[in-house]
Amino acid sequence: MLIELLFYAVFLGQIFLVSVYYPRKLIDRNRYVLKNYPASEYPKLYLNSYYADPVKVIDKGLRRYAMMNGFIALFGTGILVAMAVSGYLPSTIKEKQDLIFVMFFFFLQMVPHILMELSTWRWYKLMREAALPTTRTADLKPRHLFDFISPLYVALAVLLYVLWLVFYVYEHRQTTPWEWNQYVTIVGITAINLLFAYTIFRFIRGQKFDPYQATQDRQKQIGGVIKVHVYSSIFMSLFLIIMDLVNVYHLDRFEPVFLGAYLQLMTVFGLGTMLRSLNIKDIDFDVYKKSAVLNVLP
């Protein structure tokens, strides 16, 4: 009974955080910009090489984003109701090999967020194309990783990855020869960590998305991205170690609860960290006024 209650609580929390709370925060954030920084006063914020009416496009995108998240939240709630009515026991999810559906629902929840990110990326791409030639400035001070995050967190991320790798190899030492999925696990997790490192490098050294973004806001954005990826690596390694311990001590019945809790932590330290790093009320919007200087900080 305890496992069932924990699962329902965790799953409801996942629905609320990923499909209700953070979408509402993102929508309110964008509505705040539309209301307080109109195109008439901040034309560069809406400068675009493709859309005739950028404000209308943004409003339509926000409504679509809200509808998608609302549908997914109702769908997830319906799943829980169906489980309760049918007498389905969450404690048997792993036993019945239904764990994939827990992951599938989370991936479904992430679809609106991914589409929003892709739309944002395209928006800034078009903004760069339409950027008017003007006086340009650049901050020549080089950026370094530890300007944005403590070395302790980076060291912890590396240490936990190594600990997981050693523990995983040790626990599967008696499996001879190894099956393909064991190699895929090691290669996959290593590739994800390398992708994290590459993304961090690109944000530190690469071209910025928004050609008008103020230097201090760019610094905050880079700091947020770095923290998200380092924290993600830390929690991913911790989760993998916990899952290996679950298998060692035959606690499979708790695996769906651990998985749901992990997915929520990733959301809090992903979306949550980015929103906290760049508070909308602290952003310098003066750079988007007509007379503002174009900042080309790479």
For residue 214, the SS3 value is coil
Cβ(270)–Cβ(178) under 8 Å? no
Which contiguous run of DSSP H or E holds residue 137? Answer: strand 136-137
Q: pTM to 2 decimals?
A: 0.86
Closest CA to 132 of 298, 296, 297: 296
The residue to which tokens 């994939």 are assigned: 100
AA identity, residue 298:
P
Instruction: State the helix-helix crossing angle for 180-205 and 215-248, rounded to 10 degrees.
Output: 170
| Token pair in block for residue 277 | 């790093």
Rounded Cα gap, residues 168 and 186, in angstroms: 9
How much is the pLDDT for 187? 94
- Give how far Cα 30 sits from Cα of 82, 126, 140, Å: 35, 18, 31
Alpha-carbon torsion 79, 80, 85, 89, what sign?
A: positive
Cβ(212)–Cβ(128) under 8 Å? no
For residue 295, the SS3 value is strand
| Token pair in block for residue 172 | 């599967």
How much is the pLDDT for 223? 94
| Token pair in block for residue 248 | 């060692």
For residue 34, the SS3 value is helix
Residue-wise pLDDT tens digits, 74-124 = 999 999 999 999 999 888 887 777 788 888 999 999 999 999 999 988 888
How much is the pLDDT for 95? 79
Size (the chain), residues? 298
How much is the pLDDT for 295? 55
Name the residue ranges covered by the structural domains of the chain: 2-131+145-289
* pLDDT averaged per 10 residues, the chain (length 298): 89 96 96 93 81 86 96 96 92 82 92 93 84 56 88 97 94 76 90 95 85 89 94 95 87 88 90 88 90 54
- To 5 degrees, how large is the angle CA 97–CA 103–CA 109? 150
The β-bridge relationship of strands 294-295 and 136-137 is parallel
Closest CA to 259 of 79, 90, 129: 90
- To 5 degrees, how large is the angle CA 150–CA 152–CA 156? 130
- Measured in whole angstroms, the distance separating CA 86 from the mean position of its chain's CA atoms is 34
- Give how far Cα 291 sits from Cα of 39, 40, 41, Å: 14, 13, 10
Residue-wise pLDDT tens digits, 194-226 = 999 999 999 998 777 888 888 899 999 999 999
